[in-house]
Amino acid sequence: MLQRPRRNRKSEVIRQMVQETHVTAANLIFPLFIIEGNNQKSEVSSMPGIYRHSIDNLLREVESCLKLGLKSFDLFPNVAEVLKDKFATESYREETLYLRAIREVKKEFPEACVITDVAMDPYSSDGHDGIVENGVILNDETLAILGKMALAHAQAGADIIAPSDMMDGRVGYIRNVLDDNGFSDVSIMSYTAKYASAFYGPFRDALNSAPKFGDKKTYQMNPANQREALIEADLDEAEGADFLMVKPALAYLDVIKLLKDNTELPVAAYNVSGEYAMLKAAVQKGWLNEQRATTEVLTSIRRAGATAILTYHAKEVLENKWL
């Protein structure tokens, strides 16, 4: 044998020398859930270690993350049922929880990168990402609401707008609204290939945002499809997206790789709530080694081609020095 691949695995020093993929704090984006109130911190039961924070607590959480070198945050609001309506009007009300949170974080920590979620579902009495009429999710009518929401986020100080709704044409629509209002520097991280996945369950628990009827299959992608992701990628690129995102991550590593090979834009991946819950549940049962399983998951997502990873593990991997 002239070639013995094991020679490059024989010591820790050599293994590290030939390691192809790394995960660093700079690659991580931490999703944070927000609720109304003072000094509130309520754990999401299906996501051990993940909390809904009132704004004062959110600021403390952001501060402790910044100290760890974790600088990018994706915010999501838990909206009281009484504030929801068919048109998600609460989403762009000047004093709504979400906009206050963005303003406060950017005021206290201008160095933090604030990513905001544009979608109707947390504010919709139907629990859908678009306007519902006779059981149908309207596309073009929804764009106007998404545009208002994105503009409100930009005015509040958002660095990156992340539309997660999967309406056709929304990236271009939002790009135009932002540009027309003097926000040409605000970026768009598009949920390009967002699948109608079973792995969003715990997130919907966290926000109480599950659809009131039906499912999201007329707008989110069929988990069986890969080529369709290229259509979405071409459109988002042409419409002005700055990042293309794949969601979920773990069951879709092939899609991350596919987009990576077909775009020059950075590719992001969302390691979603159900993926987090699955790992934590197995750890709690004593069935997996937490540190090894967590770092393997994040490394795999990077290896597949993701530049940035949105993950609920972001803080713990830095806190525990697992990277």
**Is 212 among the residues known to form the active site?**
no
Helix (H) / strand (E) element for 72: namely strand 72-77
Tell me the closest approach of the beta carbon of residue 206 to ligand PBG, in angstroms: 8
Tell me the closest approach of the beta carbon of residue 258 to ligand PBG, in angstroms: 21
Contacts (Cβ under 8 Å, ≥6 apart) of 217: 196
* Binder among 33, 200, 219, 243 for ligand PBG (CB under 6 A): 200
Q: Does 164 bind ligand PBG (CB under 6 A)?
A: yes
Looking at 18-108, list the stretches that DSSP marks H as alpha helix, in order from N- to C-terminal side: 55-67, 97-108
* Binder among 119, 249, 277, 298 for ligand PBG (CB under 6 A): 119
Q: Does 58 bind ligand PBG (CB under 6 A)?
A: no
DSSP 188: E
The answer to whether the beta carbons of residues 178 and 161 sit under 8 Å apart is yes
Binding to ligand PBG in span 88-117, by CB under 6 A: 117
* Binder among 92, 173, 195, 203 for ligand PBG (CB under 6 A): 203
Tell me the closest approach of the beta carbon of residue 318 to ligand PBG, in angstroms: 19
- Residue 94 in marked binding region: no
Distance of CA 34 to the CA centre of its chain: 14
**Is 194 among the residues known to form the active site?**
yes
User: Which of 5-13, 181-189, 200-208, 222-230 is the region at the interface with ligand PBG (rule: CB under 6 A)?
Assistant: 200-208
Strand partners, 74: 31, 115
DSSP 221: B
Tell me the closest approach of the beta carbon of residue 274 to ligand PBG, in angstroms: 6
The catalytically annotated residue of 84, 194, 260, 280 is 194
Nearest alpha-carbon partner for 93 in 106, 111, 80, 74? 80
Q: Does 297 bind ligand PBG (CB under 6 A)?
A: no
* Binder among 61, 90, 121, 237 for ligand PBG (CB under 6 A): 121
Residue 172 CB-half CA count within 13 A: 11
Question: Given CA atoms 12, 14, 20, 23 in this order, what sign does their dihedral have?
Answer: positive
The tokens describing 258, both together, are 């596919």
Toward ligand PBG, which CB reaches closer, 27 or 220? 220
d(CA 320, CA 312): 14
Residue ranges that bind ligand PBG, judged by CB under 6 A = 117, 119, 121, 129, 164-165, 200, 203-204, 216, 272-273
- Residues belonging to the binding site for Mg(2+) are 232
